[in-house]
Amino acid sequence: ERRQFCSWPCKCGVRPPCAPGVSSILDGCGCCKTCARQIGESCNERDVCDPHKSMYCDFSKDQPRYEVGICAYMMGVGCDMNGAHYDNGQAFQPNPLYKCTCISGAIGCTPAFIQKPAGMLSPAVLQGNLPAGLKSNQSPKHQQDTTYRTMSAWKNCLVQTTPWSPCSRTCGIGISVRVNNDNSKCEMRKERRLCLLRPCDKNALKGLKMPKGKTCRPKFQASKAEKLSLSGCISIKKHRPTYCGICTDKRCCVPNKSKMVNIEFHCKGGSNVRWKMQWITSCVCQRKCNDAGDMFSELHLI
């Protein structure tokens, strides 16, 4: 008889702390928060492998019971681009400007050429003393190469941007980050913005009225315009933000549409600071509610 690792009703003990980089997830029984099993560790229907690292439980060595397995990596899928198929991990160059790599179904590209800074050019080039073969009577091919080297770096840059991370706080002002290379050097840089899902004042939430026949109120607006506070700094203007609401059936409400605004704060000492901020326009309520402490989660528990 096959051993059962799950039992109901659920009984959860003290939630264990997870090591850095290890996901805190719901166990396979759907009962308790637990630390995900890592590569090479044993797993079963209760103790599941880290899904955020593309792992699965391999039961192939536990025949015929298939009770206990070992965490292993899933095989990465290939990529399709312009009618061509590339294997996982394969590098390719779809055109002369970019070099690309296929990674588990996603394609990442970088410029094939990097502009040579003027300081690295020889004095002869800088002074216009070009060799005879590179003067005005040079071949069309050489003319094209010379023109390309003088192009600004950003013209050869394939702009890549990651999605904004979930807000670092489920109430009050938090921080959200993303990485992009939309700059003059085409370098991947971290960008930060403020985010405000809802106020921490519980009285503001208690006063919310549910629409008739509904179990969720996806969004609501502040009752009046007020100044925002950030680490001792106060916004110069008053604002009336839109917040994500609450549900009575344990669903979570998170932003699904927003825009970016600039908020200027006045700080102690007389200095001013300007921050980009996510300005919520609409929210959606859903049943998948991950733990706010899970560094890999796409959503925060609200």
Mean pLDDT by 10 residues, the chain (302 residues): 79 83 85 89 90 80 82 72 74 78 72 54 44 41 33 59 83 86 82 88 75 82 87 88 84 87 86 88 79 39 34
**What integer pLDDT is reported at residue 3 of this predicted model?**
76
**What integer pLDDT is reported at residue 72 of this predicted model?**
83
**What integer pLDDT is reported at residue 298 of this predicted model?**
41
For the domain made up of 1-74, give the CATH fold. Answer: Omega-AgatoxinV (4.10.40)
Q: Give the C-alpha separation, 81 to 108, whole Å.
A: 12
Query: CATH 4.10.40.20 occupies which residues in the chain?
Result: 1-74
Its pTM stands at: 0.46
CATH of domain 173-286: 2.10.90
Contact 173/230 with Cβ under 8 angstroms?
yes
**What integer pLDDT is reported at residue 299 of this predicted model?**
34
**What integer pLDDT is reported at residue 43 of this predicted model?**
92
Query: CATH 2.10.90 occupies which residues in the chain?
Result: 173-286
**What integer pLDDT is reported at residue 103 of this predicted model?**
67
**What integer pLDDT is reported at residue 290 of this predicted model?**
55
